[in-house]
């Protein structure tokens, strides 16, 4: 059970109680404690939070007209936001960013994600390869730079980090954002500190960001303090937050260390990097829809998939337009994150996994159709066509028939949407502004 599931279970117990008395509050607090401690949140912080909630529920006079369960749930939300730290909003101007981190933190991939983030917002970016310790670090960063569509500089085999930075400054002088990757270790030691200080002295970074894996839990706080003492950090990036059971512990520990969290990594794709916003994060944990992020994600996905708005809202849905919609959806990252933004966090994990696997198969099946088949769904009633498409896509006939069935269901829903003006108005929010 992850942190969000545990918190929603505790809230459900409270809201389902007939009477909010001492017994109900204590049961609620037990569920909270179990969820937070399982997520590796500091025990002392957990006790402080639950004691505060119990005191407010049983001793404080509630505001007039506010139900006890609503008052406590709102207080839980506010306290969790405080526990997880403040949000972050970057200044969009030219800058130099130094990324630091231990082995396994996801630092090199985060370099590419961060470069893409700024380049997508109009600031040409480039990566500098200064990890001179890890084998193949140069090649990995170069490959990631190509995938992200950003600049790259490195001197393969060179161990002098000062020389690499000096040459990079000349080669990348036209780039607005320079991001420097650095060596890691299993732990922060004197040799690494010396190397990082040499890079910082030559590079003169505006930002020094520590990359931490969410799986480290409470240890993230200690890492943040140690790196901050050594090189004076300006912020932290928490990676692999989407698949970690200890993400809450990592976020709360870094917040307690008083080193601001700037970004979070929420998936493997290069666009899976989000500005940290504790209110949105806690809202998703509690199952509160984050429509602002959802709309932003949809618009970005449509742009990256090179889908025209008229291809998504047409008079008639066919396999061609359905394929364009699948492309846009696939660009939005893990379906689990999308569903979380919609406030539907408790859909079974198996459903997400099946859905993502199904998307990939559907794309392959539609690719194997002829142009006529894509535009005229009635042609797929013939068994010979089903067999040919199955063979061409590497799927089974049963899987092709499943696509046809799902498409027909979607077509009926689509027809209903076309006749519902209010629903069309709501859906227009997801369309890119012209």
Residues 113 and 209 in one domain: yes
Tell me whether strands 235-239 and 207-213 are parallel, antiparallel or unpaired. parallel
Report CA Rg, the chain.
25
Of 265, 285, 305, which marks where a domain is finished? 285
Report if residue 159 sits inside a domain: yes
Pairwise CA distance, residues 237 & 100, whole Å: 10
> What's the total number of domains in the chain?
3
Residues 246 and 309 in one domain: no
Of 28, 51, 83, which marks where a domain is finished? 83
Of residues 356 and 426, more confidently modeled: 356
CA 277 to centroid of chain Cα atoms: 11
| Residue given tokens 């240890």 in the structure block | 219
At 339-388, the pLDDT tens digits run: 555 445 555 554 444 456 777 788 889 989 998 888 876 778 778 889 99
Pairwise CA distance, residues 416 & 413, whole Å: 5
Tokens of 118: 């700024």
247-256 and 278-285 helices, crossing angle to 10°: 150
List the CATH number of the domain containing 57: 1.20.120.140
Pairwise CA distance, residues 325 & 417, whole Å: 15
Average pLDDT of the residues of the chain? 82
Residues 178 and 305 in one domain: no
Report if residue 88 sits inside a domain: no
pLDDT at 229 over 50: yes
List the CATH number of the domain containing 355: 1.10.260.30
Residues 179 and 322 in one domain: no
Residues 153 and 168 in one domain: yes
Pairwise CA distance, residues 162 & 204, whole Å: 11
Of 254, 285, 316, which marks where a domain is finished? 285
C-alpha separations of 280 from 80, 131, 288 in Å = 11, 34, 9
List the CATH number of the domain containing 234: 3.40.50.300
User: 33: how many CB neighbours lie within 10 A of its CB?
Assistant: 18
3-class SS of residue 207 = strand
Residues 13 and 120 in one domain: no
Sign, CA torsion 45/51/57/61 = negative
If you average pLDDT over residues 326-349, what whole number do you get?
Answer: 56
Task: Please name which of 241, 232, 210 lies closest in space to residue 223, comparing C-alpha atoms.
Answer: 210
At 25-67, the pLDDT tens digits run: 888 899 999 999 999 999 999 999 999 888 887 777 767 767 7
Residues 214 and 319 in one domain: no
Q: Which domain holds residue 407?
A: 291-430
- Helices vs strands, H then E, count in the chain: 20, 8
Report if residue 89 sits inside a domain: no
Residues 178 and 319 in one domain: no
Does the pTM of the predicted model rise above 0.85?
A: no
What pLDDT does residue 310 have?
A: 47
């Amino acid at each position: 059970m992850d942190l969000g599931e545990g918190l929603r279970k505790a809230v459900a117990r409270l809201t389902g109680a007939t009477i909010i008395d001492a017994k109900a509050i204590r049961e609620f607090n037990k569920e909270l404690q179990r969820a937070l401690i399982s997520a590796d949140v500091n025990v002392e912080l957990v006790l402080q939070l639950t004691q505060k909630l119990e005191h407010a529920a049983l001793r404080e006079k509630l505001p007039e007209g506010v139900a006890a369960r609503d008052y406590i749930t709102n207080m839980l939300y506010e306290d969790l936001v405080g526990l997880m730290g403040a949000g972050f909003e970057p200044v969009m101007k030219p800058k130099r960013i130094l990324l630091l981190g231990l082995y396994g933190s996801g630092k090199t991939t985060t370099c590419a994600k961060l470069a893409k983030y700024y380049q997508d917002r109009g600031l040409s970016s480039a990566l500098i390869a200064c990890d001179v310790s890890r084998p193949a670090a140069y090649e990995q960063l170069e490959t990631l730079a190509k995938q992200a569509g950003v600049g790259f500089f490195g001197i393969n085999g060179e161990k002098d980090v000062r020389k690499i930075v000096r040459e990079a400054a000349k080669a990348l002088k036209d780039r607005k954002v320079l991001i420097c990757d650095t060596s890691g270790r299993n732990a922060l030691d004197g040799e690494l500190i010396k190397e990082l200080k040499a890079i910082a002295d030559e590079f003169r970074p505006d930002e020094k960001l520590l990359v931490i894996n969410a799986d480290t839990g409470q240890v993230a706080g200690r890492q943040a303090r140690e790196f901050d003492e050594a090189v004076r950090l300006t912020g932290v990036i928490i990676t692999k937050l989407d698949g970690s059971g200890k993400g809450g512990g990592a976020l709360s520990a870094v917040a307690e260390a008083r080193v601001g969290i700037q970004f979070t990594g929420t998936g493997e794709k290069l666009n899976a990097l989000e500005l940290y916003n504790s209110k949105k994060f806690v809202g998703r944990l509690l199952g509160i829809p984050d429509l602002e992020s959802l709309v932003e994600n949809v618009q970005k996905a449509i742009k990256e998939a090179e889908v025209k708005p008229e291809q998504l809202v047409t008079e008639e849905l066919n396999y061609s337009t359905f394929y364009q919609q699948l492309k846009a959806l696939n660009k939005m990252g893990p379906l689990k994150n999308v569903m979380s933004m919609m406030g539907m966090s408790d859909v079974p994990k198996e459903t997400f996994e099946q859905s993502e696997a199904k998307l990939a198969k559907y794309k392959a099946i539609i690719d194997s159709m002829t142009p006529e088949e894509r535009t005229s769904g009635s042609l797929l009633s013939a068994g010979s066509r089903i067999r040919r498409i199955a063979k061409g896509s590497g799927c089974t006939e049963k899987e092709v028939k499943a696509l046809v069935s799902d498409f027909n269901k979607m077509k009926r829903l689509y027809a209903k949407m076309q006749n519902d003006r209010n629903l069309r108005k709501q859906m227009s929010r997801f369309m890119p502004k012209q």
